[in-house]
Amino acid sequence: MFLAAIAVVVTRSPGWDEFKAYFFDWGYYSESFPEILDAFWVNVKLFGIAEAIILPAALLLAVLRSLPGPVFFPIRALAIAYADLFRGIPTILVIFMLGFGMPALGLDWIPTSQFFWAVVALTLVYTAYVSEVYRAGIESVHPSQDAAARSLGLTRGQSLRHVVLPQAVRRVIPPLLNDFIGLQKDTALVGALGVVEAFRQTQIDQAATFNGTYYLVAATLFVAITIPLARFTDWLVARDRRRQQAGRLA
Amino acid sequence: MSGGAIRVSGLSQTPALEIEKLHKSFGKLEVLRGIDLALAEHEVVCLIGASGSGKSTLLRCINLLEPIDAGRILVHGEEITAPGTDVNRVRRGIGIVFQSFNLFPHMSVLENVTLAPRKARGLSRADAEAAADRLLERFGLAEKRRDYPDRLSGGQQQRVAIVRALAMQPRLLLLDEVTSALDPELIAEVLDVIRELAGSGMTMLIATHEMGFARDVARRVCFLHEGAILEEGPPEQIFTEPREERTRQFLQRIVAAGRL
């Protein structure tokens, strides 16, 4: 209803024909699709590599933050400082600082690839976000679960690994996916370094023809990844719930 | 080593559990004020007393889930509250079952029971599962081995929790109001399990509100009041002719609530 109303307003607007020609040109769409798809693989590589590092690194960070007692205070403080810092700085700034800054140091043992520094920047920022998600999950597991595990003679580490973390991670799968989608979208920021990823490619194309259909191509590609992923997560959560509650009476 | 060994017909027998002058506070609240208690091997002792009298805290201290402030706890002659004690090794020999079961919801019954034997005692999966199956069989839970805790009734969950503790082959079992979270019709099946354990010679310290059960199963009953053992004795004496006024008042309230 609401969407229909918007559709009517938009298509009746005075600029609609121009708008349509600018953003919805099928000719440009099909012509540019392979090229932008090629560039999109750079995005896929960016978030694929980054996510593969983020998931374990963030879990480690969350565990370090949950270490109890005064002995671990320095470690906790460092973990908190890291999370505060990298959640606070806009992602684009981190990407700029590392992508332009690190190669400019002129140290020959430091990689100069901007793709490399883009992965590092995204990893640093999203590890901070994702560690908070894990932490919320860890804190949501009732202390009696840990007490039960410890009372059986399991060590702190064993209790964490076999009892607390499996429950914590299951609970935070939906917000983890949320951050993963955020990461995918933020790979478009890397174009600002000059790395030719999907968004950068659309800008190049747009500058050549002054048509905006390329943006639509890039949008299609991003959505084509996130929707299946969202359904997969739903399925994962539902399967888990079914397994634990199967056949439960009433 | 303590000097608390009891001489029985020429044989020196170390008590299964000795507690000496145990104190425990949470902040400014002193929950345990000098507990002295000893359990002989194969003895079953029930702790009774109002909520907040310190029963649960006492059991948690014995399992080293709570650090103590003063006093000593010895298990089979070893002072487990000494600094530098390997708490994981101590806990492997002391089972505890909680009021709220605390089964691991992401694991099947079999996984719940075999986790600690495999990880803490180093048993192979096959050995741990064989031992677990024998215990599940013994307590009528064999058909539930692949089920997740959510599928089980409260009584079944608590029996699984008892089996989980037994799978570590503890020499001492602590039961913390294990029937208090159960619907009345499910209490009997859990009490039957504990009776069977008592019959098989398991040394047990049981915090309970089930006075009839305490009378049946316990050799001794201790009445806890405000963090101290106010009175202890054989169940027939405690329940019929308590010496202390506080004990009498507590039992009257229990009778009025229809629990005795």
Of A148, A162, A246, nearest to B102 by CB-CB distance is A148
- Residue B206 within any structural domain of the chain: yes
Q: What tokens were used for B105?
A: 């919801």
Whole-number Cα distances in Å, A138 to A134, B8, B144, B258: 6, 51, 29, 42
State which residues of chain A have pLDDT below 50.
Answer: 247-250
- Residue B96 within any structural domain of the chain: yes
Q: A151: nearest CA in chain B?
A: B91
CA distance B79 to B71: 10
The answer to whether B129 touches B136, Cβ cutoff 8 Å, is: no
Give the domain range for residue B102: 6-256
Q: Nearest 5 degrees, angle CA B215-CA B219-CA B221? A: 65
Give me the pLDDT at residue B221, please.
95
> At B72, phi and psi to the nearest 5?
-140, 150
Give me the pLDDT at residue B4, please.
46
Q: What is the CATH number of the domain that holds B224?
A: 3.40.50.300
For residue B105, the chain A residues in CB contact (below 8 A) are 167, 244
Query: Domain locations in chain A?
Result: 43-196
Neighbours of B126 (CB within 10 A): 9
pTM for this prediction: 0.85
Mark yes or no for CB contact A152/B92 under 8 Å: yes
**Total of domains in chain B:** 1
Give me the pLDDT at residue A1, please.
81
Give me the pLDDT at residue A246, please.
56
What CATH fold (topology level) applies to the domain A43-196?
A: MetI-like fold (1.10.3720)
CA distance B136 to A152: 18
The answer to whether B58 touches B232, Cβ cutoff 8 Å, is: no
Span B226-253, pLDDT tens digits: 999 999 999 999 999 999 999 999 998 8
Q: Which of A150, A151, A156, A173 to mutate to test the interface with B (most CBs of B within 10 A)?
A: A151
Question: Do you know the residue count of chain B?
Answer: 260
**Is the minimum CB–CB distance between B146 and chain A shorter than 8 Å?**
no
Q: B109: nearest CA in chain A?
A: A244
State which residues of chain B have pLDDT below 70.
Answer: 1-12, 259-260
